């Protein structure tokens, strides 16, 4: 299909194939409405006019650019603008092949056996791979699931692992009678060490990063100590407090983060951010006064766990600021977990006694405890893995929003499973805290936009 005018040649791509005839340069091109579908006539013949050899070189380059534009366009109409001088050579329209000017097209095969006197010279343009091959070649799972389904599965796994580890810890420490939170945390660290090594070394989910200096290892050791304190306090609090109240206290992490940022780095937030923290504190005060199963020691260690998480995030931002020292979250877990296990070992031996012998004795009477401990340690690693996957497939902001919703979901599930009593005032306090966290997140986001 050809439309010719003195100054413009337009081609409608509604026809699956079409031949374009250029007056000054006779080109036979087979075009397709789908640029990613290979065609048996993928070989094009490009010829040039001996009368306009110099112009031919310029227009050939312009044509190559137009074809490149076409290959990046799904469907549409192309407009090729030609010089008004072209109608002066109508005799060239009837021709179909000319001798290609030597070296006028650098894309021609240098090893071609043809010479300048040859009648035709063929240029092979490789076909673009189909879209599904290009989109799914990077992911094995992508060939089985669509991106939306895969993301939904990852988010569901994140919810499952985060809630499951809370419920299993609560069941082991409060209902099953396994009252060794330090040893349980050490098992979590050993599990994270083993699974992280396999995931990075063999499965290669992220590239392996190495510790570059003794100074960097000392920084990671300091983070491991804070991490140990936070996790041990969190697990200990589950022995005395219901999961719902534990999650309500844990939701106050932004409050402690703002405090530590101001004390350690002298970083001041906007008035809107500090104002958003008021409902967070007020909600916890309201929930604490109306909690039927309130335990002072459990409350204090839970607050310590929340403060430890906030302190770790602030200190991590200070210690690992250098680009050379920054580690991926999965690599950081690989190095922090064994250090944390070594830190916890003397504490569990001194405070909890010979827990290994006690555990083996329990396993002889009830083998189910082995399944509980292994499953609990595995789910503890899945929490870290799914945190990474959710951030990779969505964003850090999505992970933050999911974290706010997770606290409410975990509280509801724990009430349904463990049947712990709740009050209307306690639920209202929890709701106020979650609302304050959401307002805090929005205020932080607006303050960052204003700063930048």
Bigger pLDDT: 283 vs 126:
283
Q: Which pLDDT score is estimated for 318?
A: 83
Q: CA 86 to CA 199: how far, in whole Å?
A: 64
> Which distant-in-sequence residues (6+ apart) come within 8 Å of 147 by Cβ?
none
What mean pLDDT comes out for the span 286-315? 93
Q: Which pLDDT score is estimated for 2?
A: 42
pLDDT grade, residue 50 (50/70/90)? very low
Q: Which pLDDT score is estimated for 117?
A: 42
What mean pLDDT comes out for the span 263-276? 87
Q: Which pLDDT score is estimated for 337?
A: 95
Q: Which pLDDT score is estimated for 223?
A: 93
pLDDT grade, residue 437 (50/70/90)? confident
273, 276, 281, 286: CA torsion to nearest 10: 180
Question: What pLDDT, in 10s, does the model give residues 209-255?
Answer: 999 889 889 999 999 999 999 999 999 999 999 999 999 999 899 89
**Which residues make beta-bridge pairs with 208?**
none
Q: CA 60 to CA 25: how far, in whole Å?
A: 8
Q: Which pLDDT score is estimated for 48?
A: 42
Instruction: Output phi, psi for 351, to 5 deg.
Output: -90, -45
Q: Which pLDDT score is estimated for 224?
A: 95
Q: Which pLDDT score is estimated for 100?
A: 45
Q: What percent of the chain has pLDDT over 70?
A: 67
Question: What pLDDT, in 10s, does the model give residues 374-429?
Answer: 999 999 999 999 988 888 888 776 777 788 788 888 989 999 999 888 899 999 99
pLDDT grade, residue 161 (50/70/90)? very high
> Which token pair is 270?
């906007």
Q: Which pLDDT score is estimated for 114?
A: 44
Q: Beta-carbon neighbour count of residue 335 at 10 Å?
A: 21
Q: Which pLDDT score is estimated for 55?
A: 45
Question: What pLDDT, in 10s, does the model give residues 64-75?
Answer: 444 444 444 433
Q: CA 69 to CA 87: how far, in whole Å?
A: 25
> Which token pair is 148?
């939306």
Bigger pLDDT: 434 vs 62:
434
Q: Which pLDDT score is estimated for 73?
A: 41
What mean pLDDT comes out for the span 319-346? 89
Q: Which pLDDT score is estimated for 127?
A: 52
Q: Which pLDDT score is estimated for 448?
A: 75
> Which distant-in-sequence residues (6+ apart) come within 8 Å of 380 by Cβ?
165, 188, 191, 192
Q: Which pLDDT score is estimated for 438?
A: 86
- Strands, sheet with 8-12, edge to edge from the N-terminal-most edge strand: 3-4, 8-12, 77-81
Which range, 48-52, 375-379, 429-433, is most confident?
375-379
Lowest mean pLDDT among 104-118, 161-175, 208-222, 295-309: 104-118
Q: Which pLDDT score is estimated for 94?
A: 42
Residue 140 in this model has a pLDDT that exceeds 60: no
pLDDT grade, residue 28 (50/70/90)? very low
Average pLDDT, the chain: 75
Q: Which pLDDT score is estimated for 198?
A: 95
Q: CA 162 to CA 413: how far, in whole Å?
A: 12
Q: Which pLDDT score is estimated for 74?
A: 39
What mean pLDDT comes out for the span 5-11? 40
> Which distant-in-sequence residues (6+ apart) come within 8 Å of 111 by Cβ?
none
Q: CA 10 to CA 208: how far, in whole Å?
A: 54
């Amino acid at each position: 299909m050809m439309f010719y005018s003195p100054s413009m040649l337009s081609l409608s791509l509604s026809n699956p194939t079409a031949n374009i005839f250029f007056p000054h340069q006779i080109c036979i091109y087979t075009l397709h409405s789908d640029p990613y579908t290979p065609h048996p006539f993928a070989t094009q013949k490009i010829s040039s006019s001996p009368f306009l050899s110099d112009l031919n070189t310029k227009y050939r380059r312009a044509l190559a650019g137009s074809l490149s534009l076409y290959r990046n366009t799904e469907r549409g109409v192309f407009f090729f603008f030609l010089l008004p001088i072209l109608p002066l050579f109508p005799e060239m329209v009837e021709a179909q092949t000319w001798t290609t000017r030597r070296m006028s097209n650098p894309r021609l095969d240098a090893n071609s056996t043809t010479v300048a006197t040859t009648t035709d010279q063929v240029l092979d343009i490789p076909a673009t791979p189909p879209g599904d091959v290009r989109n799914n070649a990077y992911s094995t799972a992508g060939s089985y699931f669509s991106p939306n389904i895969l993301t939904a599965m990852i988010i569901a796994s994140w919810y499952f692992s985060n809630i499951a580890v809370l419920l299993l810890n609560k069941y082991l420490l409060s209902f099953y009678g396994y009252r060794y939170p330090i040893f349980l945390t050490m098992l979590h660290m050993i599990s994270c060490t083993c699974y992280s090594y396999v995931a990075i070394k063999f499965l290669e989910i992220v590239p392996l990063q190495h510790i570059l200096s003794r100074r960097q290892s000392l920084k990671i050791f300091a983070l491991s100590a804070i991490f140990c304190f936070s996790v041990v306090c969190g697990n200990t609090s589950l022995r005395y407090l219901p999961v719902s109240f534990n999650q309500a206290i844990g939701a106050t992490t932004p409050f402690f983060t703002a405090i530590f940022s101001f004390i350690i780095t002298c970083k001041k937030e906007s008035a809107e951010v500090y104002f958003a923290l008021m409902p967070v504190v007020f909600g916890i005060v309201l929930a604490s006064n109306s909690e039927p199963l309130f335990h002072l020691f459990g409350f204090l260690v839970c607050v310590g766990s929340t403060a430890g998480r906030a302190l770790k995030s602030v200190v991590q931002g200070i210690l690992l600021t250098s680009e050379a020292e920054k580690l991926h979250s999965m690599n950081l877990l690989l190095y922090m977990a064994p250090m944390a296990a070594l830190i916890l070992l003397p504490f569990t031996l001194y405070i909890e006694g010979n827990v290994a012998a006690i555990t083996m004795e329990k396993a002889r009477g009830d083998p189910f405890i082995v399944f509980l401990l292994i499953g609990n340690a595995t789910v503890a690693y899945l929490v870290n893995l799914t945190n990474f996957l959710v951030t990779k497939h969505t964003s850090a902001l999505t992970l933050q929003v999911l974290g706010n919703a997770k606290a409410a979901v975990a509280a509801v599930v724990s009430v349904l499973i463990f049947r712990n009593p709740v009050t209307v005032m306690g639920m209202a306090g929890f709701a106020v805290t979650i609302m304050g966290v959401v307002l805090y997140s929005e205020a932080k986001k607006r303050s960052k936009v204003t700063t930048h």
